[in-house]
Structure 1
Amino acid sequence: MIDYRKATVPVWTLATGDVRVPAIGGDEPMTAERLVELRGVLAGLADQPIATLELHPVPDALDRSRGIPLDAVSPLAQHLSQLITQSARNSSVAAKATAAGEGLYRMVVPAKVAAQFGQGIVRPMAGKGVAGGIHGPLVNSAGRIVAGAKFVPVGQAAAAGAVGGAGATAGAALTGSAVLTVAAPLVLMAIAVGVSANADSKRRQAIEHITELLEQLHEQKLDDEHSELDGCRDAIDKATAILLDQGKLGASLGLDSAVHAINTALGAADRRLARWQSALDKLPDGKAVEIDTLTKSFPGVDDEGGTFRAHLALAALAIALKRRVIVLQAVEHAQGEPDSLFENFARALKADQQRLDELESGIGGVLVQLSALELARPNGLRPVFTTGEVDRLMRAAHRIRRLGDGVSADSRMTDVAIEIARDRDGSVVVFPALPASA
């Protein structure tokens, strides 16, 4: 891992529209804590979304397979290259930092802006093999962004080109008093790809879990449901590639049929959630529940490979796929009206997120309620239990208590970070968007 404590980190302040804010940043080096404060103040004062973009060295052994690769001619890569070129002309700090051509760019979108995209769209992803670990190229062994680096603001001079539109030139300067750069297309594309990568990471996690569960269950109906959902991936991947290259979607991609399959799966998840909530409402308050009573409504809840857990995994897969589709639809909608590109993107994304957030929240509530249940010993004539019965009760209690472990109790939106690895040839890999506080 690179030692960032001695690093000088250039920081661009990116606006998504023509705004004026007081000159509160200055051009002096700042700490990471000061940068967080500045970002919050700018978000509060400006009437257009404002983000920051940091440039760090590329960490050793960076796992690029977690991200979405885009070649040098893609809009996102081009916008980033234009920003780099223009900055290098006017800032010795930017010129020195970008001279090698490669780097890890970290865009942070304030919580106020991120809230426009839905409360559940960006969640931490547990790192394998690390208790509570979070994926992220820039985290240290303690799981935090190293705060000892010296962050230096990068000023911007005027650049040729229009501001609006998905293909517009990033970097047109503002006449306001703060050091801001209008880069709506760059911010939009970074958010779109980062959120899509985040949803795809959740899809891969769900696929791995479902495959394992269905191998144990041998239930054809669930296997068919899984196959139909997994079959949507190809159409979504193709549509993602086309839109991120600023192309137009056509009927030949099969995206319409994929969306239908996903919506059907979400409908099934809604119905199952309603049955689960009804079953929990019927349980006596404050009384212990027998395992057999619980498994009638939640079959296999006491087992690692039960039907209930397969239903949970299928719902997670459908939600992840739908989130990717929503991003595609929002980008397409925004590109269709370039005069208010970012606003259209945010509006379309937020409107469609609500149902998914409610479904995810409802499932989380069921899991929390189940994890808090007290299990009763089976009723019977015998005064004692066999060793097998005792073992089953203990295993079931442990497994049911763990159901609530993965549920986020804090629904507050944090700043969102999107990390972009840029190679010397201008191509980029965009990693899953994550809470910046991770």
Structure 2
Amino acid sequence: MTDDRKTTVPVWTLATTDVQVPGLTAGDSMTAERLAELRGVLAVLADQPIVTLEVHPLPATIERGRGIPLDAASPLAQHLSQFITQSARSSLTVARATGSGECLYRMVVPAKVASQLGQGILRPMVAKGGAGGAIFGDLVNSTGKIASKVTFMPVGGAAAAGTVGGAGATAGVAAAGGTALAVAAPLVLMAVAVGVSAHADQKRQQAIEHITKLLEQLQEEKLDDEHSELDGCRDAIDKATAILLDQGTLGVSLGIDSAVHAINTALGKADRRLARWQSALDGLPEGKAVELGTLTKSFPGVDDHGGAFRAHLELASLAVALKRRVVVLQAVDHAQRDAGNPFENFTRALKRDQQRLDELESGIAGVLVRLSALELARPNGLRPVFTTGEVERLLSAAHRIHQLGDGVTVNSRTTDVAIEIARAKDGSVVVFPALPA
């Protein structure tokens, strides 16, 4: 915060179906720490997913290009508007916080639910210009945690009429054991779907940037063709995303089938390359230094910033990011076909289809960690003394190979996940990539 006044942040507990939980909120204000404890208790005690929804002042500067925009007529925007309007009628705190029409909504999904969505799909990423990927500006401190001057005020459940995403689930209030929970499965489904999709697209954009630079140096036509074919899938995926989020149905004319085929072909190549890398590492003498020449036979360009090995890594990352967006589309489509339990269908579909992607990413991460731990041996030769250039190349190669393990996460522990939604005065929204809460 930039002044000495406390900001009161309304916070709701939202359920995806009727649940039985003890009365944990007494209507008193709470700190960020107490709110985090509340989320943990709810996640443990509730049989069905319970998320929290906060409303913050909209920061003056927000990088909207990172998110997925939805107009005011979209189901997610409409459902959010209805929910807030009805909440404001019964809560002065909500009315004050949302009166300007421009707010930043933050939905936090508990780690237990996030684990059902998968490890890789919500792996921590740092956004440009933000602490830990946060976009709260002055609302967070240098560590990315919400500033102590922000006070959270629990809000009772609010009936949000209507349906979202064609799921056919009407939101309402479930009073269970003294705690009023707003049953808002469609709102939660759509927010998670768009946030996860935006997260996957952010990873796609990063992979594209890296691949473009690498291929400009390599001038490898075959790899360039792989890149072009994958990048060409984006248009069909974007259109399919827009149609599904507007409650439409996917048709053959979109070209999504061709896109899925291209992505699956790229994933098959990534699987085969991973198997070769793992086999090459298994064949190295254990505990002994490895000559650089031996290493580059199996990992061409591993000692350079623009080698083919690094291009293969980025192509695999691009294929995974695109496939994750497709998986979200398939999960939303599947959930919308069953009016009874949209969110449960959604999580089941995600968990089933993205297991292969988690395994691929974990396998690649394992290869990078093993490579980074290797010790390079001096080149074999008859000369007892090596030139300055040869020594510098060996030291530079060792440094670059050891850097391969930087930032690599293998089997990371799933944390709570935050999905941030910026709402404009006209009711339109921008949903930002999901990130660790």
Structure 1 residue aligned with 2:53: 53
In structure 1, give the amino acid aligned to 2:202: S
C-alpha change, 1:78 and 1:161, in structure 2 (3 Å) is closer
Equivalence for 2:342: 341
Change (3 A) 1:410 1:25: farther
CA RMSD of aligned residues (A): 1.7
Question: Judging changes above 3 Å, is the alpha-carbon distance between structure 1 residues 273 and 157 closer, same or farther for their aligned structure 2 residues?
Answer: closer
2:152 corresponds to: 151
Q: Which amino acid aligns with 2:240?
A: A
Structure 1 stretch displaced more, 2-11 or 298-307: 2-11
Structure-1 residue corresponding to 2:20: 20
Q: What do the CA deviations read for 1:401-420 (whole angstroms, capped 9, x no partner)?
A: 00011311461100000000
The structural deviation recorded for 1:98 is 1.0
Range moving further from structure 2, 103-112 or 91-100: 91-100
SS in 1 for 2:120: coil
2:192 corresponds to: 191
Moved more, 156-165 or 11-20: 156-165
Q: 1:425 to 1:163 in 2, by over 3 A?
A: closer
In structure 1, distance between residues paired with 2:276 and 2:4: 51
TM-score between the two structures when normalised by the length of structure 1:
0.96
Contact preservation (8 Å) 1:201, 1:432:
yes
Deviations 1:275-327 (A, max 9, x none): 00000000001100010000000000000000000000000000000000000
CA contact (8 A) 1:226 1:314 kept: yes
Where does 1:109-124 land on structure 2 (aligned, <5 Å)? 109-124=109-124
- 2:73 corresponds to which residue? 73
Secondary structure at the residue paired with 1:316?
helix
Which one-letter code corresponds to 2:378 in the other structure?
Answer: R
Residue 294 in structure 1 maps to residue 295 in structure 2: yes
Partner SS for 2:381: coil
SS at match of 1:338: coil
CA displacement at 1:163 relative to structure 2 = 9.5
Matches within 5 A, 1:65-214: 65-128=65-128, 134-138=132-136, 140=140, 142-148=142-148, 149-158=150-159, 160-161=161-162, 166=167, 168-170=169-171, 172-176=172-176, 177-214=178-215
* Greater alpha carbon shift after TM alignment, 55-64 vs 275-284: 55-64
How do residues 317-356 of structure 1 correspond to structure 2 at under 5 angstroms?
317-356=318-357
Q: Shift in Å at residue 128 of structure 1?
A: 4.4
Query: For the residues of structure 1 that align with 2:196 and 2:215, how far apart are their CA atoms?
Result: 28
Q: Provide the C-alpha distance between the structure 1 equivalents of 2:174 and 2:416, rounded to a whole number of angstroms.
A: 24
Contact 2:165 2:247 in 1 (8 A): no
**8 A contact 1:24–1:178 mirrored in 2:** yes
1:385 corresponds to which residue? Answer: 386
- Hey, what does 2:362 align to over in structure 1? 361
Decide whether aligned partners of structure 1 residues 186 and 37 sit closer, same or farther in structure 2, where only a CA change above 3 A counts.
same
**Amino acid of the structure 1 residue aligned with 2:101:** G
Rounded Cα–Cα distance in structure 2 between residues aligned with 1:250 and 1:115: 31
Deviation at 1:255?
Answer: 0.2
- Is the 2:165–2:190 contact (alpha carbons within 8 Å) kept by the matching residues of 1? no
> Residue 263 of structure 1 corresponds to which residue in structure 2?
264
Aligned to 1:254: 255
Displacement of 1:25:
1.5
- Counterpart in the other structure of 2:277: 276
Residue identity over aligned pairs, in percent, reads: 75
Give me the whole-angstrom Cα distance separating, in 1, the residues matched to 2:249 and 2:153.
Answer: 39
CA offsets per residue over residues 361-416 of structure 1, 9 Å max, x none?
Answer: 00000000000000011011111110110110011001000001131146110000
SS in 1 for 2:135: coil
Q: Contact conserved, 1:164 with 1:184, CA < 8 A, in 2? A: no
Q: What is the letter of the counterpart of residue 380 of structure 2?
A: N
User: Would you say the 8 A contact 1:4–1:146 is kept in 2?
Assistant: no
2:309 corresponds to 1:311: no
Q: Distance in 1 between matches of 2:228 and 2:338?
A: 36
Counterpart position of 1:218: 219
How far residue 162 of structure 1 moved from its aligned partner, in angstroms, is 6.8
2:408 alignment partner in structure 1: 407
Q: Evaluate the alpha carbon distance shift between residue 168 and residue 74 of structure 1 in structure 2; reply closer, same or farther with a 3 A threshold.
A: farther
Could you say what secondary structure the match of 2:340 adopts? helix
Is this contact kept in 2: 1:240–1:328, CA < 8 A? yes
Work out whether residues 67 and 431 of structure 2, in 8 Å CA contact, stay in contact via their aligned partners in 1.
yes
8 Å Cα contact 1:75-1:167 kept in structure 2: no
CA–CA separation in structure 2 for the residues paired with 1:321 and 1:5? 44
Indicate conservation of the 8 Å contact 1:122/1:434, yes or no.
Answer: yes
For 1:189-242, what per-residue CA distance to the aligned partner results, in whole angstroms no more than 9, with x for missing partners?
A: 000000000000000000000000000001100000000000000000000010
Equivalents in 1 of 2:122, 2:429: separation in Å? 21
- The one-letter amino acid paired with 2:105 is Y
* Inter-CA distance 87–279: structure 2 relative to 1 (3 Å threshold): same
**Where does structure 1 lack aligned partners over 5 or more consecutive residues?**
none
Q: Residues 399 and 162 from structure 1, CA distance in 2 versus in 1: closer, same or farther, beyond 3 angstroms? A: closer
**Contact preservation (8 Å) 1:199, 1:320:** yes
Change (3 A) 1:164 1:278: closer
Question: Relative to 1, partners in 2 of residues 1:107 and 1:77: Cα closer, same or farther, differing over 3 Å?
Answer: same
Q: Against the structure 1 CA distance between its residues 162 and 129, is the aligned structure 2 distance closer, same or farther, given a 3 Å change threshold? A: closer
Distance 2:209 2:373 in 1: 27
Q: Determine the C-alpha separation between the residues in 2 that align with 1:319 and 1:344.
A: 22
1:2-57 per-residue CA deviation (whole Å, 9 max, x = no partner) reads 66972100001100001121101111000001001111111111111000000111
Unaligned stretches of 5+ residues in structure 2? none
CA distance in 1, matches of 2:281, 2:152: 52
Separation in structure 2 between the aligned mates of residue 5 and residue 31 of structure 1, nearest angstrom? 15
